[in-house]
Amino acid sequence: MCEQDGCHVEKDDRWFSYDVVAEDSSTHARAGVLHTPHGDVPTPIFMPVGTKGTVKGILPQTLEQVGAHIVLANTYHLAMRPGVDVVSELGGLHEFMQWHGPILTDSGGFQVFSHEEFVKLSEDGIKFRAVDYDGRWFTWTPETNMDIAQRLGADVVMQLDQCVGYPAPRAKVERAVDLSSRWAERCRAAHTRPDQALFGIVQGGMDLDLRLRSLRHLEEMGGFPGYGIGGYSVGEDHETMFESLEPLVAEHMPRDRPRYLMGVGSPSALVRGVACGIDMFDCVLPTRTGRTGTAFSSEGRLNFRHARFTHDAGPLDPACGCPVCRGGYSRAYLHHLIRQGEMLGSILVSTHNIYYLLDLMRRARVAIIEGRYGSFVSDWNDSEASRDW
């Protein structure tokens, strides 16, 4: 293990590896372990999102308590505020956040491209205006993006890529695939930090042939320690997503590398994604919906703004073992907090939602190891919990 975030040692495959420990015979689901310098990550796993260096409203100790093994942070937002110099000066992201387990940072490319008319794209990189901060123009190349990622110091970082929304003309998606592939090669050449894994990203929109072209390009470079699957959950419905996602993952992606579906986080999408062979998921959904008083539950989604909870003395979800559901907080109290805009309401519901997804993946892992994931999926689809829309 690296003794401090700024250490420099020779590259060694022992820093990162992925072991498949079980595969389900009736689906493509598998259970594994991702080994990183800051700890092991059992998969399948949901990764809470700490966009600006914090999972909103949740203490790092609470994340540990509810079973988080790895968290995310966002390269774009941290580069804007407080700036990579500050994070690096203060010991790197683990020390800065006071989260000492594994961290994954995305490239920030999705956030940059969301600026739309304030983005100028070229072969060299991206010029963009930070309209959500001070309005200044910045230029990111694959090389500068890797420099930021290495100085932030996460365990896993993602290549700079171009993510195209849905729907989009095939020609635009095709250009994004080819540009992302060339940028992946430059990211790979620029990334030198040995205690940090660089994941390539498979793009291609909803076109399976373009997805396979993207994957082939990444493998022809010599492969990556893991693969992100980007460009989904960008406007399409889940059925459209799974039309290309399922064959891509189940039939074509490397078996010995972790597969990370980026930005997907509804419970039913996780259950189905695991059946396809996905290992890692992230999404802001549990905290974003938590802040508005909406919770996942064994009864489906619950909106605690509704008046029907005014006199309900029961726990948020009697089938849940999280600190909120076991802590004596009634549905009536949660309704009161949410209706009054009290921050504790958002914190409690967000905590529950994160636990709910982590526990769902824990139970999925057990089912895979026991060889019954097919029945796990069937039971889920027949349950009220699957009404998570």
What's residue 201's pLDDT? 98
What's residue 13's pLDDT? 65
Q: What percentage of the chain carries pLDDT values higher than 70?
A: 97
Point out the residues that are catalytic.
Answer: 106, 282
How many CA atoms does the CB half-sphere of 59 hold within 13 Å? 5
- CA distance linking residue 44 with residue 29, whole number of Å: 9
Cis? peptide before 315, omega within 30° of 0: no
pTM of the predicted protein model: 0.95
When pLDDT is averaged across residues 322-328 and rounded to a whole number, the result is 98
Domain ranges of the chain: 17-283, 290-375
Q: What percentage of the chain carries pLDDT values higher than 90?
A: 94
CATH topology of domain 17-283: TIM Barrel (3.20.20)
389 band by pLDDT with thresholds 50, 70 and 90: confident
Do 153 and 196 form a contact (C-beta atoms < 8 A)?
yes
Question: Does 8 have pLDDT greater than 50?
Answer: no
Torsion angle (degrees, nearest 10) of CA 184, 170, 120, 135? -100
Do 280 and 43 form a contact (C-beta atoms < 8 A)?
yes
- pLDDT tens, residue by residue, 128-151: 999 999 999 999 999 999 999 999
- pLDDT tens, residue by residue, 154-166: 999 999 999 999 9
When pLDDT is averaged across residues 361-365 and rounded to a whole number, the result is 98
Question: Does 245 have pLDDT greater than 60?
Answer: yes
- pLDDT tens, residue by residue, 62-72: 999 999 999 99
What's residue 18's pLDDT? 97
- CA distance linking residue 154 with residue 144, whole number of Å: 16
